[in-house]
Amino acid sequence: MATAPRIWEKLETIDARIIYLILWIVILWPFIYPIGLPVSIGSYSLAYAKAIDDLPAGSIVVVSFDFSLGGLGELYPIAIATLHHLFTKPVKIVIIAIWSDGAIVADMVLKDLKPDQPPYNRKYGEDWIFLGYAPGGETAMAALGKDFWSTLPTDYYYKKHVSTYPIMQNLRSANDVTLLVSLETGTPGADEWVRQWYVPYKVPMIVGCIGVMAPTVAPYLAGGQVKGMLPGLRAAAEYELIIGRKGLGVASADALSTSHMVFVIFVILGNISYFMRRRSK
């Protein structure tokens, strides 16, 4: 049996390029031919959806885009799904950005969703409004908490004073806000919102963030300041399944499953070949 050990030896010193090729295939494949691999739904995602479902009619929700173009890969599906969910509820939605690029991103998402058209038919200025970018990071959060009108005096699309819009009549400070949704990639983000909005005004919030941020947001979930969290693409898929609107997240979930499984298979293969080779020695 001189051949068997050679197979293991070959497998152990496999050309890395074969691994790369297989990864390319398993990630491209699900986007061309979706598989629909099962996704288990975590408690954070359920809590996130519940926070929106539980909103009483007419309550004011502030959605803040706290990320730049670089975060789109993971946050775009979350943003689309969250706004879709909100636009189907009888609540008032105020969209802002704490990052300068956040306004550009928010504009992209809104252009994609078109809330004033079916199936949403929500009226701009009455049901929702987009106020644009508030410069100053954490200082801007504090200022918004105190006084919305003076911090963001005009809206993004028409540059008209906020006092001319019916939706803004009931929104003067963070005290009027029922829920804050922060979509974020880093600082300023959850830490700062908790400091500026939760501590003084007790505004509950939910967070959509990139995967690496999850450990920094998790303590606030335990502490109750954050009601729900969607970290990364995987959570986006879970959320899309909860609200019943399959999108980019679900499509990516297949690719995530296949790539992770290939990772595990490679590790197992590597160990089998290692032990077989050692045994044959």
Partner 1 sequence: MSVELFGVLLGVFFTLAVYTFLYRENPYSRIAEYVFIGAATGYGIAYDLDWLKNQWVGTWSKTMEDSILFVLALLLAVLWYFRFSKRYFFLYRIPLAITVGTYIGLALRSVVFAQVIEQVRSTAALKVVGIDPWTAFNNLVTMIIVVCTLAYFTFTVRQEAAFWKPVNKFARYAMMIGFGSAYGYTVLTRMSLFIGRVQFLLGIPPNPPEAKMFFPWVALVLLGTLLGYDYYKKTKK
Partner 2 sequence: MSLLRRVEIPIAITIIFALIQVIPYFVNMGPAVEATQDKVVRWTLIVSTGALLVGLTSLLLIHVPRVTRRRTHWEYSLLLIAFMFLMTIIGLPFPELNLGLTGYWFRFFYNNVLTPLSASLYAILAFYITSAAYRAFKARSLEAALLLISGTILVLRNAPLGTFLIPQIADLGDWIFNIPNMAVNRAIMIGGGLGAMVLGIRVLLGYERGYLRGGE
Binding site for partner 2 (CB under 8 A): 14, 16, 19-20, 23, 27, 37-40, 42, 69-70, 211, 215, 218, 234, 237-238, 253, 256-257, 259-264, 266-267, 269-271, 274-275
Is position 259 an interface residue for partner 1 (rule: CB under 8 A)? Answer: yes
* DSSP designation for 154: B
Residue closest to 205 by CA, chosen among 214, 215, 217, 216: 217
On the 0-12 / 13-18 / 19+ scale of CB atoms within 10 A, 134 is: buried
Binding-site member from 207, 255, 273, 277 for partner 1 (CB under 8 A): 255
Pick the binder of partner 1 from 82, 252, 273, 277 (CB under 8 A).
252
Alpha-carbon radius of gyration of the chain: 23
In our burial notation (b when 16+ CB lie closer than 10 A, e otherwise), range 198-234 reads beeeebbbbbbbbeebbeebeebbeeebbbbbbbbbb
Per-residue x/- track, 195-224, partner 1 (CB under 8 A): ---------------xxx------------
Instruction: Give the pair of three-digit tokens for residue 266.
Output: 């490679």
- The item of partner 1, partner 2, none sharing an interface with residue 112, based on CB under 5 to 8 Å by kind, is partner 1
* Half-sphere exposure of residue 7: CA atoms within 13 angstroms, side-chain side: 7
Segment interacting with partner 1, rule: CB under 8 A, options 73-81, 141-149, 196-204, 237-245: 73-81
Enumerate binding residues for partner 1 (CB under 8 A). 17, 20, 23, 27-28, 31-32, 72-74, 76, 108-109, 112, 210-212, 232-234, 248, 251-252, 255-256, 259-260, 263
